[in-house]
Amino acid sequence: MIKHLSASSIGMFQRCQKQWMFRYMEGIKSPPNVAMAKGTGVHKSAELNYLNVIEGKDPLSVDEVQQNASEAFTEATEDIEVWEQNKGEALDQTVTAAEKYHNVYGTTVKPIAAEQWHEITHPDWIYKVVGIIDLETELEIPDIKVTGKKKPASEVEKSLAGGIYRKMVPGKEFIFHNVILGKNAIRTETIKADFISGNDDKIDGYITAMQFSIAQSMNTGVFAPAAADSWGCNSRFCGYYNRCEHGGK
């Protein structure tokens, strides 16, 4: 029985209820992949730097950031079964991405919290919603993303995590700190968006509806597979593909 939900668990249920069943009813974690490990390397190195600054110290040196990114990447790749990219190449990309992030944000942003746990409730909700927010400054809640391509501002507006985090830390602007791993270069971009008024009510209603859907699936044991034309229902993007009757089983 689940005790709470998060933006990522609600997002997974939205993408594929079968995935959610494997992960949260059967407790099977999706095996890590290279993209996840690169994200972990950049996130961890940024987190350690910001925690250092919050303690009143100077930002970490580039060498320390690179070392932290390398160690986090290496640890995150221990259980990788299928390497979609050469390991050394992926490690180099992660270390360079962490350095780029550090030079643009890590040495200039003034953090007041990093990797902080939050939880919220609502009278209409069955479960509380929890989350760990990457970073908090005086005015903003930046979400650190490692991505393959430039993102439109609409992704910030539509981000479920953004809506939830804005409820957890009211009055602050949700933005993306993106690190883009392009084919020829690694670069960064900050994405901001004007939130449409009424968005917060929409988020409340959406989470309420999703909570009832999740509770109903748990009560009935019925979990729908991803839509037939879903981009993620394949061996590359679904870690449960080989155990699912709608995948390769």
One of 167, 172, 192, 246 touching ligand SF4 (CB under 6 A): 246
- Please identify, using beta-carbon distances, which residue of 32 and 59 lies nearer to ligand SF4: 32
Nearer to ligand SF4, 55 or 229 (CB): 229
Taking a C-beta distance cutoff of 8 angstroms, is the pair 149, 174 a contact? no
Stretch near ligand SF4 under the rule CB under 6 A, chosen from 11-19, 62-70, 167-175, 188-196 = 11-19
> Are 51 and 59 in contact, with CB atoms under 8 Å apart?
no
11 is a contact residue toward ligand SF4 (CB under 6 A): no
If binding is defined by CB under 6 A, does position 19 make contact with ligand SF4?
yes
**Count, residues near ligand SF4 per rule CB under 6 A:** 13
Q: Using alpha carbons only, give the angle 57, 135, 56 rounded to the nearest 5 degrees.
A: 15
Any residues with CB less than 8 A from the CB of 59 and at least 6 apart, and which? 49, 52, 53, 102, 106, 107
What spatial distance separates the first Cα and last Cα of the chain, rounded to whole Å? 26
Which residue's CB is nearer to ligand SF4, number 11 or number 225? Answer: 225
Binding of ligand SF4 by 50 (CB under 6 A): no
Cα-based angle 162, 164, 168 (whole degrees, multiple of 5):
110
Answer yes or no whether residue 241 interacts with ligand SF4 by CB under 6 A.
yes
**Where does this chain touch ligand SF4 (CB under 6 A) — which range of 16-24, 50-58, 98-106, 174-182?**
16-24
Min. distance of Cβ 236 from ligand SF4 in angstroms? Answer: 11
- Does 247 bind ligand SF4 (CB under 6 A)? Our answer is yes
Nearer to ligand SF4, 190 or 235 (CB): 235
The number of helix segments (H) and strand segments (E) in the chain equals 8, 6
Site for ligand SF4 in 189-228 (CB under 6 A): 225-226
DSSP notation for 126-194: SSEEEEEEEEE-SSEEEEEEEESS---THHHHH-HHHHHHHHHSTTSEEEEEEEEE-SS-EEEEEE--P
- Please list, in sequence order, all residues whose beta carbon lies within 8 angstroms of the beta carbon of residue 16, skipping any fewer than 6 positions away: 224, 225, 226, 230, 232, 233, 238
Count of all residues that appear for the chain in the document: 249
151 belongs to the binding site for ligand SF4 (CB under 6 A): no
- Regarding 28 and contact with ligand SF4 (CB under 6 A), the answer is no
Of positions 10, 16, 109, 207, contacts ligand SF4 by CB under 6 A: 16
Q: Does 23 engage in binding with ligand SF4 (CB under 6 A)?
A: no
Which residues bind to ligand SF4, rule: CB under 6 A? 16, 18-19, 225-226, 232-233, 238, 240-241, 244, 246-247
